[in-house]
A and B are shown apart, each in its own frame.
Chain A
Amino acid sequence: QSVLTQPPSVSGAPGQRVTISCTGSSSNIGAGYDVHWYQQLPGTAPKLLIYGNSNRPSGVPDRFSGSKSGTSASLAITGLQAEDEADYYCQSYDSSLSGLYVFGTGTKVTVL
């Protein structure tokens, strides 16, 4: 049902860099709508990680960065740490019948 597609899982060793892709379409990301990212630690509510494609809320480490191009967006985590092990979701706005707010399928990040 999710309109935005993410890889189910990515993994990396501590200190490495990992990226998560978020692929949409012409009715959401491709239409120029902002992409936002959320981190969900096990058993907790999602937490805003990146807003407006590449902006970090106060308190989010600069190890997290976001970008957007065309119909896709990416989240990069550099200097991977054990506490980064979580589920990550992208979110955007959709002008079709999919609903105003659409989320990605989610990506599980595993720190090896």
Chain B
Amino acid sequence: QVQLQESGPGLVKPSQTLSLTCTVSGGSISSGSYYWSWIRQPAGKGLEWIGRIYTSGSTNYNPSLKSRVTISVDTSKNQFSLKLSSVTAADTAVYYCARVFSRVGATGGGHFDYWGQGTLVTVSS
């Protein structure tokens, strides 16, 4: 059973960089043809996709965040990470990491089949 766990600071100052890591257990991050994603959810609001990475290092980002986002992967540690720069209060949210599964014959980029429990990041001075 694949499990994902987010970790990182719960408080970040405005204009600084938010950094989070997702540790994958129960399977190798490199096995299978999976993308790995970050998704966020402000309190009381909906879900927003941030970006995804393949184990080769290939990335795609939400255009609305692209200029501030970097996602990387460390296959030796079975982890992938998120960096979001120049944060403001609008970036305060619960951040989730998730695995993307695209089945044979599917149309589109697949679905999120495993999720981390989420971690709250507050941007405040």
Q: CB-CB < 8 A to B113: which residues of A?
A: 48, 51, 57
Interface string of B93-112 (1 = CB under 8 A from A): 00010000101001111011
Cα A71 to Cα B30 with chains together (Å): 35
Cα A32 to Cα B96 with chains together (Å): 27
Interface string of B35-64 (1 = CB under 8 A from A): 001000000001111001000000010111
Asked if B14 CB lies within 8 Å of chain A CBs, one says no
Cα A45 to Cα B113 with chains together (Å): 12
With A34-B107, A52-B106: A103-B48 Cβ-Cβ less than 8 Å: yes
Q: A46 and B49: CB pair below 8 A?
A: no
Q: CB-CB < 8 A to B115: which residues of A?
A: 45-47
Interface string of A81-112 (1 = CB under 8 A from B): 00000000101110001111111111000000
A52 to B: closest C-beta gap in Å: 6
Which chain A residues in 24-63 approach chain B with CB under 8 Å?
A: 32-34, 36, 38, 44-48, 51-52, 57
With A47-B115, A51-B113: A104-B46 Cβ-Cβ less than 8 Å: yes
Cα A20 to Cα B44 with chains together (Å): 19
Cα A91 to Cα B47 with chains together (Å): 10
Q: In the complex, which of the residues B60, B96, B103, B109 has the most CB atoms of chain A within 10 Å of its own CB atom?
A: B109
Q: Please report A residues at the B interface, Cβ cutoff 8 Å.
A: 1-2, 32-34, 36, 38, 44-48, 51-52, 57, 89, 91-93, 97-106
Q: Please report B residues at the A interface, Cβ cutoff 8 Å.
A: 37, 46-49, 52, 60, 62-64, 96, 101, 103, 106-109, 111-113, 115-118
Between-chain CB contacts (< 8 Å), 14 pairs = A1-B48, A1-B64, A38-B47, A38-B112, A91-B111, A92-B108, A97-B63, A98-B63, A99-B49, A99-B63, A100-B62, A100-B109, A101-B37, A106-B47
Given A44-B117, A45-B96, A105-B46, 20 further pairs, Cβ under 8 A: A1-B48, A2-B46, A32-B107, A33-B107, A34-B111, A36-B111, A52-B103, A91-B111, A92-B108, A93-B108, A97-B63, A99-B62, A99-B64, A100-B52, A100-B109, A101-B49, A101-B52, A103-B48, A103-B49, A106-B46
